Structure 1
Protein backbone atom coordinates (compact mmCIF):
# COMPACT_ATOMS: atom_id res chain seq x y z
CA UNK A 1 0.00 0.00 0.00
CA UNK A 2 1.34 3.42 -0.96
CA UNK A 3 1.75 5.92 1.87
CA UNK A 4 2.55 9.64 1.91
CA UNK A 5 5.62 10.98 3.74
CA UNK A 6 6.32 14.62 4.57
CA UNK A 7 10.05 15.36 4.63
CA UNK A 8 11.55 18.64 5.84
CA UNK A 9 14.93 19.84 4.65
CA UNK A 10 14.35 17.72 1.55
CA UNK A 11 16.38 19.80 -0.91
CA UNK A 12 19.72 18.13 -0.14
CA UNK A 13 21.65 15.65 1.97
CA UNK A 14 19.82 13.30 4.30
CA UNK A 15 16.45 14.86 3.47
CA UNK A 16 16.86 14.31 -0.27
CA UNK A 17 17.96 10.74 0.42
CA UNK A 18 14.85 10.11 2.50
CA UNK A 19 12.84 11.29 -0.53
CA UNK A 20 14.71 8.92 -2.84
CA UNK A 21 14.41 5.96 -0.48
CA UNK A 22 10.69 6.39 0.19
CA UNK A 23 9.94 7.04 -3.51
CA UNK A 24 11.86 3.90 -4.46
CA UNK A 25 9.50 2.02 -2.15
CA UNK A 26 6.51 3.43 -4.09
CA UNK A 27 5.44 6.07 -1.58
CA UNK A 28 4.11 9.54 -2.35
CA UNK A 29 5.92 12.56 -0.95
CA UNK A 30 5.45 16.05 0.42
CA UNK A 31 8.79 17.81 0.18
CA UNK A 32 9.48 20.90 2.28
CA UNK A 33 12.43 23.30 2.16
CA UNK A 34 13.23 26.94 1.48
CA UNK A 35 14.68 26.23 -1.99
CA UNK A 36 11.62 25.42 -4.09
CA UNK A 37 13.65 25.13 -7.32
CA UNK A 38 15.73 22.32 -5.86
CA UNK A 39 12.64 20.56 -4.55
CA UNK A 40 11.01 20.72 -7.97
CA UNK A 41 14.14 19.31 -9.64
CA UNK A 42 14.24 16.41 -7.18
CA UNK A 43 10.51 15.84 -7.60
CA UNK A 44 10.84 15.66 -11.40
CA UNK A 45 13.62 13.10 -11.04
CA UNK A 46 11.63 10.90 -8.67
CA UNK A 47 8.36 11.15 -10.59
CA UNK A 48 10.14 10.00 -13.74
CA UNK A 49 11.95 7.17 -11.98
CA UNK A 50 9.17 5.84 -9.75
CA UNK A 51 5.83 7.28 -10.90
CA UNK A 52 4.94 8.62 -7.45
CA UNK A 53 2.93 11.71 -6.57
CA UNK A 54 4.99 14.55 -5.11
CA UNK A 55 3.95 17.92 -3.70
CA UNK A 56 6.63 20.58 -3.15
CA UNK A 57 6.05 23.26 -0.51
CA UNK A 58 8.47 26.07 0.29
CA UNK A 59 8.75 27.21 3.90
CA UNK A 60 11.34 28.77 6.18
CA UNK A 61 11.04 26.70 9.35
CA UNK A 62 12.86 29.40 11.29
CA UNK A 63 9.74 31.52 10.95
CA UNK A 64 6.95 30.33 13.28
CA UNK A 65 4.29 31.94 11.08
CA UNK A 66 5.52 29.97 8.06
CA UNK A 67 5.40 26.71 10.02
CA UNK A 68 1.78 27.40 10.94
CA UNK A 69 1.07 28.38 7.34
CA UNK A 70 2.63 25.13 6.16
CA UNK A 71 0.32 23.12 8.39
CA UNK A 72 -2.65 25.15 7.12
CA UNK A 73 -1.67 24.53 3.48
CA UNK A 74 -1.35 20.80 4.13
CA UNK A 75 -4.86 20.75 5.60
CA UNK A 76 -6.35 22.90 2.83
CA UNK A 77 -4.83 20.64 0.17
CA UNK A 78 -6.16 17.57 2.03
CA UNK A 79 -2.72 15.94 1.84
CA UNK A 80 -2.95 13.98 5.14
CA UNK A 81 0.61 12.61 5.41
CA UNK A 82 1.01 9.14 6.92
CA UNK A 83 4.59 9.83 7.93
CA UNK A 84 6.72 12.77 9.06
CA UNK A 85 10.48 13.05 8.70
CA UNK A 86 11.72 15.95 10.82
CA UNK A 87 15.08 16.36 9.12
CA UNK A 88 15.64 20.10 8.64
CA UNK A 89 18.46 21.44 10.76
CA UNK A 90 21.87 23.05 10.97
CA UNK A 91 24.39 24.17 13.57
CA UNK A 92 26.17 27.37 14.58
CA UNK A 93 29.86 26.51 14.79
CA UNK A 94 30.85 29.59 16.80
CA UNK A 95 30.75 30.13 20.54
CA UNK A 96 27.59 31.45 22.18
CA UNK A 97 28.65 35.08 22.70
CA UNK A 98 30.12 35.47 19.20
CA UNK A 99 26.69 34.83 17.68
CA UNK A 100 23.63 37.04 18.01
CA UNK A 101 20.66 36.19 20.16
CA UNK A 102 18.55 36.10 16.99
CA UNK A 103 20.85 33.48 15.42
CA UNK A 104 20.45 31.27 18.47
CA UNK A 105 16.69 31.74 18.61
CA UNK A 106 16.37 31.03 14.88
CA UNK A 107 18.30 27.82 15.47
CA UNK A 108 15.84 26.82 18.20
CA UNK A 109 12.91 27.56 15.88
CA UNK A 110 14.26 25.28 13.13
CA UNK A 111 15.69 22.46 15.24
CA UNK A 112 13.28 22.34 18.20
CA UNK A 113 10.07 24.33 17.69
CA UNK A 114 9.29 23.39 14.07
CA UNK A 115 9.62 19.60 14.57
CA UNK A 116 7.43 19.87 17.66
CA UNK A 117 4.75 21.89 15.89
CA UNK A 118 4.72 19.64 12.84
CA UNK A 119 4.40 16.48 14.92
CA UNK A 120 1.63 18.05 16.99
CA UNK A 121 -0.20 19.26 13.90
CA UNK A 122 -0.09 15.94 12.04
CA UNK A 123 -0.30 13.32 14.75
CA UNK A 124 -4.05 13.35 15.34
CA UNK A 125 -4.75 12.30 11.74
CA UNK A 126 -2.24 9.46 12.12
CA UNK A 127 -3.94 8.36 15.34
CA UNK A 128 -7.33 8.55 13.63
CA UNK A 129 -6.28 6.06 10.98
CA UNK A 130 -4.27 3.87 13.34
CA UNK A 131 -1.08 4.24 11.31
CA UNK A 132 1.77 6.69 11.42
CA UNK A 133 5.53 6.94 11.06
CA UNK A 134 7.69 9.70 12.56
CA UNK A 135 11.47 9.93 12.28
CA UNK A 136 13.13 12.77 14.15
CA UNK A 137 16.69 13.39 13.05
CA UNK A 138 18.77 13.75 16.19
CA UNK A 139 22.53 13.06 16.40
CA UNK A 140 25.03 10.99 18.33
CA UNK A 141 25.97 14.24 20.12
CA UNK A 142 22.63 13.95 21.92
CA UNK A 143 24.48 11.56 24.23
CA UNK A 144 27.48 13.87 24.77
CA UNK A 145 28.17 16.19 27.75
CA UNK A 146 28.50 19.19 25.42
CA UNK A 147 31.57 21.15 24.38
CA UNK A 148 32.68 24.61 23.29
CA UNK A 149 31.21 25.70 19.96
CA UNK A 150 27.89 24.54 18.47
CA UNK A 151 26.58 25.57 21.90
CA UNK A 152 22.90 24.66 21.56
CA UNK A 153 23.36 21.77 19.13
CA UNK A 154 23.80 18.97 21.71
CA UNK A 155 20.87 20.34 23.71
CA UNK A 156 18.61 20.50 20.65
CA UNK A 157 19.55 16.98 19.58
CA UNK A 158 19.06 15.68 23.12
CA UNK A 159 15.61 17.27 23.01
CA UNK A 160 14.82 15.42 19.77
CA UNK A 161 15.97 12.16 21.32
CA UNK A 162 13.90 12.54 24.50
CA UNK A 163 10.92 13.97 22.62
CA UNK A 164 10.93 10.96 20.32
CA UNK A 165 11.10 8.47 23.17
CA UNK A 166 8.35 10.17 25.16
CA UNK A 167 6.13 10.38 22.08
CA UNK A 168 6.80 6.71 21.31
CA UNK A 169 5.70 5.84 24.84
CA UNK A 170 2.42 7.68 24.28
CA UNK A 171 1.50 6.44 20.80
CA UNK A 172 3.54 3.31 20.15
CA UNK A 173 0.65 1.00 21.00
CA UNK A 174 -1.65 2.90 18.61
CA UNK A 175 0.03 2.05 15.32
CA UNK A 176 2.46 5.00 15.37
CA UNK A 177 6.19 4.29 15.15
CA UNK A 178 8.43 7.10 16.43
CA UNK A 179 12.19 6.88 15.97
CA UNK A 180 15.08 9.17 16.89
CA UNK A 181 17.78 8.89 14.21
CA UNK A 182 21.22 9.54 15.69
CA UNK A 183 23.91 9.60 12.98
CA UNK A 184 27.48 10.83 13.19
CA UNK A 185 29.38 12.50 10.36
CA UNK A 186 27.42 12.04 7.14
CA UNK A 187 28.10 13.07 3.55
CA UNK A 188 25.77 16.05 3.00
CA UNK A 189 25.67 19.83 2.66
CA UNK A 190 25.43 20.19 6.44
CA UNK A 191 29.13 21.01 6.84
CA UNK A 192 29.04 23.54 4.00
CA UNK A 193 26.10 25.33 5.59
CA UNK A 194 27.89 25.86 8.90
CA UNK A 195 31.33 26.60 7.42
CA UNK A 196 32.93 23.33 8.51
CA UNK A 197 33.94 21.99 5.07
CA UNK A 198 37.69 22.33 5.64
CA UNK A 199 37.54 20.74 9.08
CA UNK A 200 35.49 17.74 7.99
CA UNK A 201 37.88 17.01 5.11
CA UNK A 202 40.38 15.94 7.75
CA UNK A 203 37.87 13.48 9.26
CA UNK A 204 38.92 9.85 8.56
CA UNK A 205 36.77 8.40 5.76
CA UNK A 206 35.92 5.34 7.84
CA UNK A 207 34.03 7.58 10.27
CA UNK A 208 31.89 9.26 7.58
CA UNK A 209 28.72 7.51 6.41
CA UNK A 210 26.84 8.04 3.18
CA UNK A 211 23.40 9.61 3.41
CA UNK A 212 21.95 6.44 1.85
CA UNK A 213 23.43 4.20 4.57
CA UNK A 214 22.05 6.46 7.30
CA UNK A 215 18.58 6.72 5.76
CA UNK A 216 18.18 3.04 4.98
CA UNK A 217 19.12 2.17 8.57
CA UNK A 218 16.62 4.74 9.84
CA UNK A 219 13.74 3.44 7.73
CA UNK A 220 14.40 -0.16 8.74
CA UNK A 221 14.54 0.82 12.41
CA UNK A 222 11.35 2.87 12.16
CA UNK A 223 9.42 0.10 10.44
CA UNK A 224 10.61 -2.30 13.14
CA UNK A 225 9.31 0.06 15.81
CA UNK A 226 12.69 0.95 17.29
CA UNK A 227 12.73 4.17 19.31
CA UNK A 228 16.42 4.99 18.75
CA UNK A 229 18.88 4.14 15.99
CA UNK A 230 22.56 5.10 16.16
CA UNK A 231 23.99 4.46 12.70
CA UNK A 232 27.48 3.11 12.05
CA UNK A 233 29.67 0.85 14.19
CA UNK A 234 32.13 3.57 15.21
CA UNK A 235 29.26 5.85 16.23
CA UNK A 236 27.67 3.05 18.25
CA UNK A 237 30.96 2.46 20.09
CA UNK A 238 31.28 6.20 20.78
CA UNK A 239 27.73 6.42 22.11
CA UNK A 240 28.31 3.38 24.32
CA UNK A 241 31.39 5.10 25.75
CA UNK A 242 29.51 8.36 26.36
CA UNK A 243 26.71 6.43 28.05
CA UNK A 244 28.72 4.00 30.16
CA UNK A 245 31.96 5.76 31.11
CA UNK A 246 32.08 8.03 34.17
CA UNK A 247 31.38 11.69 33.43
CA UNK A 248 34.72 12.70 34.91
CA UNK A 249 36.49 10.60 32.29
CA UNK A 250 34.33 11.13 29.19
CA UNK A 251 33.81 14.91 29.50
CA UNK A 252 37.49 15.90 29.10
CA UNK A 253 37.84 13.50 26.16
CA UNK A 254 34.79 14.89 24.38
CA UNK A 255 35.81 18.49 24.94
CA UNK A 256 39.35 17.84 23.74
CA UNK A 257 38.10 16.10 20.60
CA UNK A 258 35.46 18.75 19.89
CA UNK A 259 37.96 21.60 19.64
CA UNK A 260 38.64 20.91 15.96
CA UNK A 261 34.93 21.28 15.15
CA UNK A 262 34.76 24.84 16.48
CA UNK A 263 35.48 27.64 14.04
CA UNK A 264 38.16 30.10 15.10
CA UNK A 265 36.76 33.45 16.17
Structure 2
Protein backbone atom coordinates (compact mmCIF):
# COMPACT_ATOMS: atom_id res chain seq x y z
CA UNK A 1 0.00 0.00 0.00
CA UNK A 2 1.35 3.45 -0.92
CA UNK A 3 1.90 5.98 1.82
CA UNK A 4 -0.74 8.57 2.62
CA UNK A 5 0.13 12.22 1.99
CA UNK A 6 -0.84 15.16 4.16
CA UNK A 7 -0.66 18.89 3.37
CA UNK A 8 0.37 21.11 6.29
CA UNK A 9 -0.08 24.87 6.01
CA UNK A 10 2.04 27.21 8.10
CA UNK A 11 4.59 24.40 8.34
CA UNK A 12 7.72 26.54 8.64
CA UNK A 13 7.69 26.63 12.46
CA UNK A 14 5.74 26.00 15.65
CA UNK A 15 2.71 23.74 15.77
CA UNK A 16 2.66 23.33 11.99
CA UNK A 17 6.23 22.02 11.89
CA UNK A 18 5.52 19.81 14.91
CA UNK A 19 2.44 18.33 13.23
CA UNK A 20 4.45 17.63 10.08
CA UNK A 21 7.01 15.74 12.16
CA UNK A 22 4.32 13.77 13.98
CA UNK A 23 2.56 12.71 10.78
CA UNK A 24 5.90 11.75 9.23
CA UNK A 25 6.75 9.68 12.30
CA UNK A 26 3.47 7.82 11.73
CA UNK A 27 4.45 6.97 8.16
CA UNK A 28 2.77 9.78 6.22
CA UNK A 29 4.42 11.62 3.38
CA UNK A 30 4.11 15.36 3.97
CA UNK A 31 3.70 18.45 1.82
CA UNK A 32 4.93 21.54 3.62
CA UNK A 33 3.67 24.98 2.66
CA UNK A 34 4.33 28.48 4.00
CA UNK A 35 5.77 31.76 2.76
CA UNK A 36 9.37 31.11 3.78
CA UNK A 37 11.22 28.53 1.71
CA UNK A 38 14.49 28.08 3.69
CA UNK A 39 12.86 26.77 6.91
CA UNK A 40 10.56 24.54 4.85
CA UNK A 41 13.55 23.04 3.03
CA UNK A 42 15.38 22.51 6.31
CA UNK A 43 12.36 20.80 7.84
CA UNK A 44 11.82 18.65 4.75
CA UNK A 45 15.43 17.44 4.89
CA UNK A 46 15.12 16.72 8.60
CA UNK A 47 11.88 14.76 8.15
CA UNK A 48 13.17 12.65 5.27
CA UNK A 49 16.36 11.79 7.14
CA UNK A 50 14.57 10.93 10.38
CA UNK A 51 11.54 9.06 9.08
CA UNK A 52 12.25 7.79 5.57
CA UNK A 53 9.19 9.44 4.07
CA UNK A 54 8.87 12.00 1.28
CA UNK A 55 8.65 15.66 2.30
CA UNK A 56 7.71 18.02 -0.52
CA UNK A 57 7.87 21.81 -0.33
CA UNK A 58 5.47 24.28 -1.95
CA UNK A 59 5.98 27.93 -1.06
CA UNK A 60 2.75 29.90 -1.02
CA UNK A 61 1.32 32.99 0.66
CA UNK A 62 -2.21 32.24 1.78
CA UNK A 63 -2.84 35.97 2.19
CA UNK A 64 -3.25 36.00 -1.60
CA UNK A 65 -6.91 35.20 -2.41
CA UNK A 66 -5.77 33.11 -5.38
CA UNK A 67 -3.40 30.99 -3.26
CA UNK A 68 -5.68 28.07 -2.26
CA UNK A 69 -6.67 27.22 -5.82
CA UNK A 70 -3.11 27.79 -7.05
CA UNK A 71 -1.75 25.53 -4.31
CA UNK A 72 -4.15 22.71 -5.13
CA UNK A 73 -3.37 23.06 -8.85
CA UNK A 74 0.37 22.83 -8.08
CA UNK A 75 -0.17 19.65 -6.08
CA UNK A 76 -2.18 18.13 -8.93
CA UNK A 77 0.50 19.07 -11.46
CA UNK A 78 3.04 17.18 -9.33
CA UNK A 79 0.80 14.12 -9.27
CA UNK A 80 0.24 14.36 -5.52
CA UNK A 81 -2.94 12.89 -4.04
CA UNK A 82 -3.76 14.65 -0.77
CA UNK A 83 -5.22 12.32 1.86
CA UNK A 84 -4.99 14.75 4.75
CA UNK A 85 -5.04 18.47 5.43
CA UNK A 86 -3.75 20.44 8.41
CA UNK A 87 -5.06 24.02 8.40
CA UNK A 88 -2.52 25.62 10.69
CA UNK A 89 -1.31 28.85 9.06
CA UNK A 90 -2.04 31.91 11.15
CA UNK A 91 -0.84 34.96 13.03
CA UNK A 92 -2.26 37.74 15.19
CA UNK A 93 -2.11 41.51 15.46
CA UNK A 94 -2.05 42.84 19.02
CA UNK A 95 -1.68 46.55 18.23
CA UNK A 96 -5.43 47.22 18.42
CA UNK A 97 -8.18 47.12 15.81
CA UNK A 98 -8.02 50.82 14.94
CA UNK A 99 -4.22 50.92 14.92
CA UNK A 100 -3.90 47.92 12.58
CA UNK A 101 -4.05 48.61 8.86
CA UNK A 102 -6.94 47.42 6.73
CA UNK A 103 -4.45 45.42 4.66
CA UNK A 104 -3.29 43.52 7.77
CA UNK A 105 -6.87 42.81 8.82
CA UNK A 106 -7.67 41.58 5.32
CA UNK A 107 -4.61 39.31 5.30
CA UNK A 108 -5.53 37.86 8.69
CA UNK A 109 -9.06 37.03 7.55
CA UNK A 110 -7.76 35.57 4.29
CA UNK A 111 -5.11 33.34 5.87
CA UNK A 112 -7.01 32.13 8.92
CA UNK A 113 -10.67 32.10 7.88
CA UNK A 114 -11.09 32.01 4.11
CA UNK A 115 -8.10 29.86 3.15
CA UNK A 116 -8.96 26.96 5.52
CA UNK A 117 -12.53 26.94 4.23
CA UNK A 118 -11.41 27.00 0.60
CA UNK A 119 -8.72 24.35 1.01
CA UNK A 120 -11.20 22.11 2.79
CA UNK A 121 -13.74 22.57 0.01
CA UNK A 122 -11.14 21.89 -2.67
CA UNK A 123 -9.62 18.78 -1.09
CA UNK A 124 -12.46 17.10 0.82
CA UNK A 125 -14.39 15.83 -2.25
CA UNK A 126 -11.42 13.69 -3.29
CA UNK A 127 -11.05 12.32 0.23
CA UNK A 128 -14.74 11.42 0.39
CA UNK A 129 -14.61 9.81 -3.05
CA UNK A 130 -11.63 7.66 -2.01
CA UNK A 131 -13.24 6.77 1.32
CA UNK A 132 -10.35 8.06 3.42
CA UNK A 133 -9.26 11.47 4.69
CA UNK A 134 -8.08 13.52 7.63
CA UNK A 135 -8.65 17.23 8.27
CA UNK A 136 -7.11 18.75 11.38
CA UNK A 137 -7.89 22.43 11.95
CA UNK A 138 -5.74 24.33 14.42
CA UNK A 139 -7.94 26.79 16.30
CA UNK A 140 -7.30 28.08 19.84
CA UNK A 141 -8.67 28.27 23.34
CA UNK A 142 -9.28 31.90 22.36
CA UNK A 143 -12.08 30.69 20.09
CA UNK A 144 -14.08 29.69 23.18
CA UNK A 145 -13.40 32.89 25.13
CA UNK A 146 -14.59 36.48 24.72
CA UNK A 147 -12.58 38.42 22.17
CA UNK A 148 -9.62 40.29 23.64
CA UNK A 149 -9.42 44.03 23.09
CA UNK A 150 -6.24 44.80 21.20
CA UNK A 151 -6.34 41.45 19.39
CA UNK A 152 -9.93 41.87 18.31
CA UNK A 153 -10.23 39.51 15.32
CA UNK A 154 -8.14 36.56 16.47
CA UNK A 155 -10.66 34.95 18.84
CA UNK A 156 -13.67 35.42 16.55
CA UNK A 157 -11.76 33.90 13.63
CA UNK A 158 -10.88 30.89 15.76
CA UNK A 159 -14.54 30.63 16.85
CA UNK A 160 -15.50 30.42 13.19
CA UNK A 161 -12.95 27.67 12.62
CA UNK A 162 -14.27 25.68 15.59
CA UNK A 163 -17.88 25.91 14.42
CA UNK A 164 -17.01 25.15 10.80
CA UNK A 165 -14.98 22.13 11.89
CA UNK A 166 -17.87 20.81 13.93
CA UNK A 167 -20.16 21.10 10.92
CA UNK A 168 -17.67 19.32 8.66
CA UNK A 169 -17.20 16.62 11.30
CA UNK A 170 -20.92 15.92 11.19
CA UNK A 171 -21.16 16.19 7.41
CA UNK A 172 -18.40 13.65 6.79
CA UNK A 173 -19.60 10.99 9.21
CA UNK A 174 -19.57 7.54 7.63
CA UNK A 175 -17.36 8.59 4.71
CA UNK A 176 -14.00 7.51 6.11
CA UNK A 177 -13.00 11.15 6.55
CA UNK A 178 -12.16 12.46 10.03
CA UNK A 179 -12.46 16.18 10.81
CA UNK A 180 -11.10 17.45 14.12
CA UNK A 181 -10.36 20.89 15.52
CA UNK A 182 -7.65 21.36 18.14
CA UNK A 183 -7.73 24.30 20.56
CA UNK A 184 -4.24 24.96 21.94
CA UNK A 185 -3.60 27.43 24.70
CA UNK A 186 -0.22 29.05 25.31
CA UNK A 187 2.32 27.06 23.32
CA UNK A 188 6.09 27.46 23.13
CA UNK A 189 6.53 28.61 19.52
CA UNK A 190 7.69 31.75 17.71
CA UNK A 191 4.05 32.95 17.47
CA UNK A 192 4.43 35.56 20.21
CA UNK A 193 7.80 36.67 18.88
CA UNK A 194 6.20 37.45 15.51
CA UNK A 195 3.36 39.53 16.96
CA UNK A 196 5.66 41.28 19.41
CA UNK A 197 4.04 40.08 22.64
CA UNK A 198 6.74 37.66 23.87
CA UNK A 199 7.88 39.78 26.82
CA UNK A 200 4.33 40.53 27.98
CA UNK A 201 2.98 36.96 27.81
CA UNK A 202 6.10 35.51 29.41
CA UNK A 203 5.69 37.90 32.32
CA UNK A 204 1.91 37.54 32.60
CA UNK A 205 1.63 33.74 32.50
CA UNK A 206 3.77 31.25 34.45
CA UNK A 207 5.76 28.46 32.84
CA UNK A 208 3.36 25.73 33.98
CA UNK A 209 0.62 27.16 31.75
CA UNK A 210 2.69 26.61 28.60
CA UNK A 211 2.85 23.47 26.47
CA UNK A 212 5.37 22.40 23.87
CA UNK A 213 4.40 22.35 20.21
CA UNK A 214 5.35 18.67 19.97
CA UNK A 215 2.98 17.73 22.80
CA UNK A 216 0.14 19.75 21.25
CA UNK A 217 0.79 18.13 17.86
CA UNK A 218 0.77 14.61 19.27
CA UNK A 219 -2.56 15.26 21.02
CA UNK A 220 -4.05 16.69 17.81
CA UNK A 221 -2.90 13.72 15.75
CA UNK A 222 -4.38 11.21 18.20
CA UNK A 223 -7.71 13.07 18.38
CA UNK A 224 -8.03 13.20 14.61
CA UNK A 225 -7.24 9.50 14.26
CA UNK A 226 -9.93 8.80 16.86
CA UNK A 227 -12.34 11.02 14.88
CA UNK A 228 -13.03 13.30 17.83
CA UNK A 229 -14.81 16.52 16.82
CA UNK A 230 -12.48 18.65 18.92
CA UNK A 231 -9.77 18.48 21.54
CA UNK A 232 -8.31 21.02 23.95
CA UNK A 233 -4.76 20.09 25.05
CA UNK A 234 -3.84 20.48 28.72
CA UNK A 235 -5.96 20.41 31.89
CA UNK A 236 -5.73 24.16 32.50
CA UNK A 237 -6.94 24.93 28.98
CA UNK A 238 -9.77 22.44 29.40
CA UNK A 239 -10.83 24.21 32.59
CA UNK A 240 -10.74 27.62 30.86
CA UNK A 241 -12.97 26.38 28.04
CA UNK A 242 -15.43 24.83 30.52
CA UNK A 243 -15.56 28.05 32.55
CA UNK A 244 -16.20 30.10 29.43
CA UNK A 245 -19.36 28.12 28.74
CA UNK A 246 -20.88 28.93 32.12
CA UNK A 247 -19.60 32.35 33.21
CA UNK A 248 -22.01 35.29 32.96
CA UNK A 249 -21.11 37.50 30.01
CA UNK A 250 -20.25 40.50 32.18
CA UNK A 251 -17.77 38.51 34.26
CA UNK A 252 -16.28 36.87 31.17
CA UNK A 253 -15.74 40.29 29.57
CA UNK A 254 -14.06 41.55 32.74
CA UNK A 255 -11.69 38.60 32.60
CA UNK A 256 -10.93 39.35 28.95
CA UNK A 257 -10.24 42.98 29.84
CA UNK A 258 -7.89 41.85 32.60
CA UNK A 259 -6.06 39.66 30.10
CA UNK A 260 -5.58 42.65 27.80
CA UNK A 261 -4.29 44.79 30.66
CA UNK A 262 -1.76 42.12 31.61
CA UNK A 263 -0.45 42.26 28.05
CA UNK A 264 -0.34 46.09 28.29
CA UNK A 265 -2.11 46.39 24.98
CA UNK A 266 -5.11 48.57 25.83
Instruction: Tell me the TM-score range normalised by the shorter chain.
Output: over 0.9
1:64 counterpart SS class: coil
Alignment of 1:50-65 (within 5 A): 50-65=51-66
Gaps of 5+ in 1: none
Alignment of 1:39-118 (within 5 A): 39-118=40-119
Aligned 8 A contact 1:34 1:60 in 2: yes
Aligned 8 A contact 1:60 1:67 in 2: no
Equivalent in the alignment of 1:28: 29
Equivalent in the alignment of 1:12: 13
Counterpart CA distance in 1 for 2:224 and 2:137 is 10
**Residue correspondences, number:** 264
Q: 2:219 aligns with which of 217, 220, 223?
A: 217
Counterpart CA distance in 1 for 2:96 and 2:194 is 16
Equivalent in the alignment of 2:166: 165
Deviation at 1:94, TM superposition (A): 1.4
Alignment of 1:116-195 (within 5 A): 116-195=117-196
Deviation at 1:197, TM superposition (A): 1.2
Counterpart CA distance in 2 for 1:35 and 1:135 is 22
Deviation at 1:103, TM superposition (A): 0.9
Q: 1:246 aligns with which of 245, 248, 257?
A: 248
Aligned 8 A contact 2:148 2:259 in 1: no
Counterpart CA distance in 1 for 2:222 and 2:145 is 25
Deviation at 1:36, TM superposition (A): 1.0
Gaps of 5+ in 2: none
Counterpart CA distance in 2 for 1:208 and 1:252 is 23
Equivalent in the alignment of 2:257: 255
Compared with structure 1, are the counterparts of its residues 262 and 218 closer, same or farther at alpha carbon in structure 2 (3 Å cutoff)? farther
List per-residue Cα deviations over 1:214-249 (Å, max 9, x = no partner). Answer: 111111111111111011100101111001222222
Deviation at 1:260, TM superposition (A): 2.4
Deviation at 1:67, TM superposition (A): 2.5
Aligned 8 A contact 1:150 1:262 in 2: no
Counterpart CA distance in 2 for 1:257 and 1:110 is 25
Aligned 8 A contact 1:182 1:228 in 2: yes
Aligned 8 A contact 1:142 1:157 in 2: yes
Aligned 8 A contact 2:4 2:29 in 1: yes
Counterpart CA distance in 2 for 1:46 and 1:166 is 33
Deviation at 1:93, TM superposition (A): 0.5
Counterpart CA distance in 2 for 1:94 and 1:3 is 41
Aligned 8 A contact 1:196 1:263 in 2: no
Equivalent in the alignment of 1:205: 207
Equivalent in the alignment of 2:235: 233
**TM-score, with structure 2 as normaliser:** 0.96
